[in-house]
Structure 1
Amino acid sequence: MSRVIFKFLAYFTAIFAIDQAIKWVFLHGFRYKGEFIDLVLVYNKGVAFSMFAFLGANLKYIQLGLIALLFGYLFGQKELLKTHTVAFGMLIGAGCSNILDRFVHGGVVDYIFWHKWFDFAVFNFADVMIDVAIVIIIIQSFIRKK
């Protein structure tokens, strides 16, 4: 089990650190305007597509509680953690990075704005890693059922 925890913590730390490093670059003035995407600093006070922004400062405590519950559940369900170590490391690392933003900056630091053919929400590396982690969990679940 210690090998699983080490692997989980390695992915958690890597995703968390990479996300915070990228955000630091944008917080210190980096911007880019392109044909397909703009890289611009935006503070998201809600969750995806700014939903639940009306919760204000309470949102960060709700999310912190949900992450704590997930973390506790995973360490209680060791088999689930063993099966999806990498994905949960990525998921929780990215989630914690976004929650840290809420405490430090008052909102999640977002910076990728896709605007070719349609306007999409502004998002960040952590958001992408959360999506990738969910896809990994789904794929692994289908593979395990077979």
Structure 2
Amino acid sequence: MKKSFLIFLVIFLVVFALDQFIKHLIVHGFDYESEAVSIALIYNKGVAFSMFSFLGSTLKYIQIVLVFVVLTALVRQKEFFIHNHYVFGIIFGAGCSNILDRFTYVGVVDYIHWHYVIDFPAVFNFADVMIDIGVGILIMKMLFLSKTK
């Protein structure tokens, strides 16, 4: 368990720090425009597609409570945590970075607008991509493991 938690913590910190570094660059003026993607600062006061933005500053406190509830549940499910510690490091590092944005700025720092082939209707960030990758890995592992049993 200790080794799994240490790996979780290292991955958490790397994802968290990298996301905050990228956001620092964006907040301080970095932008980019091409045919496929635009990089420009947008503050998202809600969650995906600005849902729940009506909650205002209450949203960040709800998210903190959710993080602690899920972490508590994971600690109680030691076997599940041990087998997925690196995935949870990715997901929690990215998620906590987005929560920190709510305290540091007026909302989550989003900056990637994808418009190649399709004009994706939302602006997102590195943390969002890491959360999607982490959840995708978890789903793939669960599907693969259920077929082998």
Deviation string 1:41-93 (CA, Å, 9 cap, x unpaired) is 00000000111111111111111111111111111111110111111110011
RMSD: 0.9
SS state at 1:106 partner: coil
Matched, 1:25 2:25: yes
Cα distance in 1 between the residues matched to 2:116 and 2:126: 19
Question: Aligned AA for 2:8?
Answer: F
Tell me the CA shift for residue 115 of structure 1: 1.7
SS state at 2:38 partner: strand
Q: Which residue of 2 aligns with 1:133?
A: 134
Cα distance in 2 between the residues matched to 1:28 and 1:50: 23
Cα distance in 1 between the residues matched to 2:12 and 2:144: 24
Deviation string 1:89-135 (CA, Å, 9 cap, x unpaired) is 10011000000000110200001001233322100000000000001
SS state at 1:62 partner: helix
SS state at 1:118 partner: coil
Q: Which runs of 5+ in 2 are unaligned?
A: none
Question: Aligned AA for 1:92?
Answer: F
Q: Which residue of 1 aligns with 2:3?
A: 3
**So what's the TM-score if we normalise by structure 2?**
0.95
**So what's the TM-score if we normalise by structure 1?**
0.97
Q: Which residue of 2 aligns with 1:142?
A: 143
Tell me the CA shift for residue 20 of structure 1: 0.4
Question: Aligned AA for 2:96?
Answer: C
Q: Which residue of 2 aligns with 1:56?
A: 56
Q: What is the 5 A alignment of 1:1-146? A: 1-120=1-120, 121-145=122-146, 146=148
